[in-house]
Amino acid sequence: MSRSSTGYHHGDLRRALLEAGAALLEEQAPARVSLREVARRAGVSHAAPYHHFGDRGGLLKAIGDACMGDFLARQEDAAATQSDPADRIVALGEAYVSFAAERPHAFALVFDPELCPPQDPSPERAPLIARNEELLAECVAAWLTARGRGPEDLEALSTAFWGAVHGLAALVGEGQLGREQVAPALRALVR
């Protein structure tokens, strides 16, 4: 199936639609992403997305899975740059907030409870969520160990840190805090 030089012209229509949808998501909120516009950007008929995703929700869930992968990779990369447990937690939190600030619509989709329900994640998303939770737990466990504490507070502290970082991401996204305020706030938490 060949189209113009700017449209779809290779053998992976699903990927072309996902890329077009992801590009559109960078410009506008998930609620405004339409199958018709995704098809237009991919250079295919307006019916093409229905064959691969069923409906708009199916497309957004697939894009959300890809966004979750990007979100996780950003945090893993940041955590890997630090060896000190406190610095690792700060880097992880900064990466979380940075993703939310730089890709607000992707961040919104990752946490959209209707399109990407946390209690019933897609088979593609479930291992990403599990790995994200493991990464946070690993960082908090190392921080506890470095402070001479046992793992008895691991779950509660992981939840508290996630809540704090997610709150910082929301405040930065709403313009209530500047990004430069994130690292000092996180450092204060891990002291």
The model's pLDDT over 83-113, given as tens digits with 9 standing for 90+, comes to: 999 999 999 999 999 999 999 999 999 999 9
Across the chain, mean pLDDT equals 92
SS (H, E, C) the chain: CCCCCCCCCCCCHHHHHHHHHHHHHHHCCHHHCCHHHHHHHHCCCCCHHHHHHCCHHHHHHHHHHHHHHHHHHHHHHHHHCCCCHHHHHHHHHHHHHHHHHHCHHHHHHHCCCCCCCCCCCCCCCHHHHHHHHHHHHHHHHHHHHHCCCCHHHHHHHHHHHHHHHHHHHHHHHCCCCCHHHHHHHHHHHHC
pLDDT at residue 120, as a whole number:
84
pTM over cut 0.85: yes
pLDDT at residue 1, as a whole number:
41
Q: Note whether 139 and 92 are within 8 A (CB).
A: yes
pLDDT above 70: percentage of residues in the chain: 94
Res 8 pLDDT > 90: no
Q: Note whether 33 and 112 are within 8 A (CB).
A: no
Distance CA 166, CA 31 (A): 21
Mean pLDDT, residues 162-190 taken together: 97
Token duo for residue 5? 């030089």
pLDDT at residue 10, as a whole number:
54
Q: Note whether 105 and 173 are within 8 A (CB).
A: no
Mean pLDDT, residues 140-151 taken together: 93
Identify the CA nearest to 141 among candidates 129, 132, 131, 150.
150
Res 2 pLDDT > 60: no
Res 59 pLDDT > 70: yes
Q: Note whether 60 and 33 are within 8 A (CB).
A: yes
Token duo for residue 144? 């506890």
The model's pLDDT over 127-139, given as tens digits with 9 standing for 90+, comes to: 999 999 999 999 9
pLDDT at residue 119, as a whole number:
84
